[in-house]
Amino acid sequence: MDVVNLAAKLSTFADHWQPRTVAEFNGQDVMVAKTHGEFVWHKHADADDFFLVLKGNLVIEMRDRSVSLGPGELFVVPRGVEHRPVAREEVHLLLIEPTGTPNTGDAATAAVRRVI
């Protein structure tokens, strides 16, 4: 395994809501993503959803509350909780979830797994 430079990995793509796997450990994908705008409402029945903001400000809306995150802050959405990330500006994220977890909660609409 080589050292992973997150900023360098993020510089290799421009599209939003298309996570890229940069490392794997214990059956988990460690991913970076760029986001902007509103993502779809979704939930993950079998996995928590880990968000760490690297750059920008992210709001994670849930049906009963919202959480605002800035650089260096993280939040874990518990499995089964419906949520929607919202980025009013471009946000860079580090995400961790079990390999194969569909980012939309539905394999039919999920982003394709990309490893960089």
* Residue 91 in tokens: 């946000």
1 falls within a domain: no
Domains contained in the chain, number: 1
17-49: pLDDT as tens digits: 999 999 999 999 999 999 999 999 999 888 999
> What is the reported pTM?
0.90
92 falls within a domain: yes
- Residue 51 contacts by C-beta under 8 Å, 6 or more apart in sequence? 58, 60, 69, 74, 75, 76, 77, 85, 93, 94, 95
58-99: pLDDT as tens digits: 999 999 999 999 999 999 999 999 999 999 999 999 999 999
CATH number at residue 35: 2.60.120.10
The amino acid sitting at 71 is P
- Residue 102 contacts by C-beta under 8 Å, 6 or more apart in sequence? 109, 110
Q: Round to whole Å and give the CA distance between 84 and 115.
A: 24
77 falls within a domain: yes
Q: Which residues pair with 50 in a beta bridge?
A: 76, 96
pLDDT bracket for residue 108 (50, 70, 90):
confident
Give residue 73's domain range. Answer: 6-115
Within its chain, how far is the Cα of 86 from the centroid? Answer: 11
Per-residue pLDDT, 101: 82
34 falls within a domain: yes
